Amino acid sequence: MDTSLLQNAAGGRIDATYHEAPNTGYLALIGHGVTGNKDRPLIVGVANELAKLGIPALRFSFSGNGKSEGRFEDCTITSETKDLTALLDQLSDPYRKIIYIGHSMGGAVGTLVAAEEPTRIHTLVSLAGMVHTADFFKREFGEEVPGEGFMWEEPTCPLSQLAWDDAIAIGDTLGSIKKIAQPWLLIHGADDDVVPLSDSKDAINSATTKTKLIERPNESHMFSENAYPEIAKAISQWVAESEK
């Protein structure tokens, strides 16, 4: 796959890495969380492990993150849904089923898009997926001044008014969750202090589709390296079960 041709809705380049594997009937798209990129250990690890299990994976950075074109200040949950939709435009194939795997805020993006894309996203996976977007921004960044402060005091990740307003306006993804028709696997660490396990429990309680929540004891928001093979195995098994 030539990843150099991938673009966002505005024509900017989306930086992506493809992990080749024999089962070309599937493609796992892996989206990262806020302030992250495609090269975070969790994203790379899950992609590698899925490829070992035979599922091709494409990990990508949302616009303004990593080496993808755009400004970080313009990156919002809504802009990331447009990125994912643009990727679906370029990658959808009637002979290939897309598994979208979103970590943290990438999980919120996945639920919003999956609700509108019941055929182009075949299977949805959330890793420590964010549900309550307004609560998250208030809890994690509430002491910062939008337009002046930084996310987690990281100078390369300014907290823009645009990102703040977007997260607050969305509020939560529960409305979209009720519309999701795809099989949906949720994996969450019991010791996650960034996006609490209760977000995934609220998602399960609101969902009307086939769902499964795997709670991983002693795991934090980014999961441990030892968890990567088990996460990939759980995804592979979930996809197989969903085909029955």
Q: Express each pLDDT in 100-151 by its tens digit.
A: 999 999 999 999 999 999 999 999 999 999 999 999 999 999 999 999 999 9
Burial 157-181 (b: 16+ CB within 10 A, else e): bbbbebbbebbeebebbeebbeebe
Measured distance CA(188)–CA(100) in Å, rounded: 16
Model pTM score? 0.98
pLDDT at 51: 98
Q: Which two tokens stand for residue 68?
A: 């993808």
* Ranges of the chain with pLDDT below 50: none
The single-letter code of the amino acid at 62 is F
What pLDDT, on the 0 to 100 scale, is given for residue 243? 82
The rounded distance, in Å, linking the Cα atoms of 16 and 181 is 27
Q: Which two tokens stand for residue 76?
A: 């919002």
The predicted structure's pLDDT at residue 68: 98
Superfamily of domain covering 3-242: Alpha/Beta hydrolase fold, catalytic domain (3.40.50.1820)
